[in-house]
Amino acid sequence: MITAGIVGGTGYTGVELLRLLAQHPEVRIQSITSRKEAGQPVADLFPSLRGHVDLSFCDPAQARLDQCDLVFFATPNGIAMEQARDLVKAGVRIVDLAADFRIKDIAVWEKWYGMTHACPELVAQAVYGLPEVHRSAIASAQVVANPGCYPTAVQLGFLPLVEAGVVDTAHLIADAKSGVSGAGRKAETHTLFAEASDSFKAYGAPGHRHLPEISQGLSRAAGQPVGLTFVPHLVPMIRGIHATLYGRLKKDVDLQSLFETRYANEPFVDVMPPGSHPDTRSVRASNTCRIAVHRPQGGDTVVVLSVIDNLVKGAAGQAVHNMNLMFGLPETLGLTQVPVLP
């Protein structure tokens, strides 16, 4: 039984982590912290957890996180890097669902995130928690940087092409679409229902924080720096990411076979039959990434469609998958929920 702590449990990744951990047979949640909500039962904030989670939020000072086997940070960017050092010293293992340990180049991180990094040495040590790439390193990691939602969908879609060297990696295009929960649970005007419903828009076209994270992962796979145009969009749905990926083929290849082979042993990546168009609801509330690959009119442009639930495979589910790997549990333990459709 793993004793786990959660720092910052009042956002959507927090409540999703609680949903999954509450159904996980090998985890005991020791404490969940929130300075603002300290003392309040978790189920008062999230009535969906009534009868499933009996904890109350506790003040960080009282949380005794150093006695946990594992601490999840479901916090805004910039929190984990302040608290991780002490926990690491105490032997606690960490999965950070925010961005603090994702980018290896500290200068790049500081530029995109607009702050000075408080803990560069743990960045060097941290393992990027995309199991389909770093499975064995995750198993022995003390600090895991859980990938961002867009980066998960985009990398899983591009990886087979990039690893096989069949596309022009200087001009990759990722047209990505996210449900509104991706913006988090903080009160902001642009994510109000009356603003975001029955409408569609791009945002961050000049540059989005997930761009360097994706580029880092794909560059590693390519063995050289890649060029990527990444345009995220806001979809009037709660959960889900749909990445539509475009690349120019440099050589002829059986694309379907390439993808099926790459992910043959991956429990959470489903390569769909030729001609498929995965919809985001087909993975709703599950840890699956579904992928289809197309080559329209037999031309030299490959189109990959990659969908995930941003809160599961793009956040809390992948964090639990990483936990399973770190503690030697079966990878799919606690993550076998059937997607909720309709």
Distance of closest approach, residue 149 Cβ to its own copies, in angstroms:
13
Helix pair angle (210-222, 149-163), 10° resolution: 20
Which one, 137 or 248, has the nearer CB to its own copies?
248
Distance of closest approach, residue 269 Cβ to its own copies, in angstroms:
11
Which one, 286 or 324, has the nearer CB to its own copies?
286
Distance of closest approach, residue 333 Cβ to its own copies, in angstroms:
14
Query: How many degrees, rounded to 5, is the angle at CA 81 between CA 122 and CA 320?
Result: 80
Which one, 121 or 188, has the nearer CB to its own copies?
188
Does 140 bind its own copies (CB under 8 A)? Our answer is no
* Three-state DSSP class for residue 303: strand
Which one, 148 or 179, has the nearer CB to its own copies?
179
* Three-state DSSP class for residue 170: coil
Q: Which helix (H) or strand (E) holds 176?
A: strand 172-179
DSSP 123-140: HHH-EE--HHHHHHHHHT
Which one, 165 or 274, has the nearer CB to its own copies?
274
Candidates 116, 171, 257, 330; binder of its own copies (CB under 8 A) is 171
The 183-222 contact track toward its own copies, x by CB under 8 A, reads: x-xxxxx-xxxxxxxxxxxxx-xxx---------------
Does 338 bind its own copies (CB under 8 A)? Our answer is yes
Q: Which two tokens stand for residue 320?
A: 């639990």
Does 179 bind its own copies (CB under 8 A)? Our answer is yes
Which one, 139 or 168, has the nearer CB to its own copies?
168
The 30-59 contact track toward its own copies, x by CB under 8 A, reads: ----------------xxxxxxx-------
Distance of closest approach, residue 340 Cβ to its own copies, in angstroms:
5
Does 238 bind its own copies (CB under 8 A)? Our answer is yes
Other C-beta atoms closer than 10 Å to the C-beta of 145 total 28
> Distances from the Cα of 55 to the Cαs of 43, 137, 181, 312, in angstroms?
8, 33, 24, 22
How many whole angstroms separate alpha carbon 3 and alpha carbon 29? 6
- Active-site residue, selected from the candidate residues 58, 68, 119, 149: 149
- Pick out residues in 258-287 that bind its own copies (CB under 8 A): 270, 272, 275-286
Distance of closest approach, residue 130 Cβ to its own copies, in angstroms:
20
How many whole angstroms separate alpha carbon 2 and alpha carbon 23? 13
Q: In what order do the strands lie in the sheet with 93-96?
A: 57-58, 27-33, 2-7, 70-73, 93-96, 143-145, 127-128
Q: Are 172 and 250 in contact (CB under 8 A)?
A: no
Does 146 bind its own copies (CB under 8 A)? Our answer is no
Q: Which residue shows structure tokens 């560069």?
A: 120
Compute the residue count for the chain: 342
Candidates 180, 315, 320, 323; binder of its own copies (CB under 8 A) is 180
- Pick out residues in 284-323 that bind its own copies (CB under 8 A): 284-286, 288, 290, 292, 294, 296-297, 299, 301, 303, 305, 307, 311
Q: Are 238 and 191 in contact (CB under 8 A)?
A: no
* Three-state DSSP class for residue 149: helix
Distance of closest approach, residue 143 Cβ to its own copies, in angstroms:
28
Our answer to whether residue 289 is catalytic in this structure is no
Does 225 bind its own copies (CB under 8 A)? Our answer is no
The count of chain residues that interact with its own copies, using the rule CB under 8 A, is: 89
One-letter amino acid for residue 19 of the chain? R
Residues annotated as catalytic are: 149
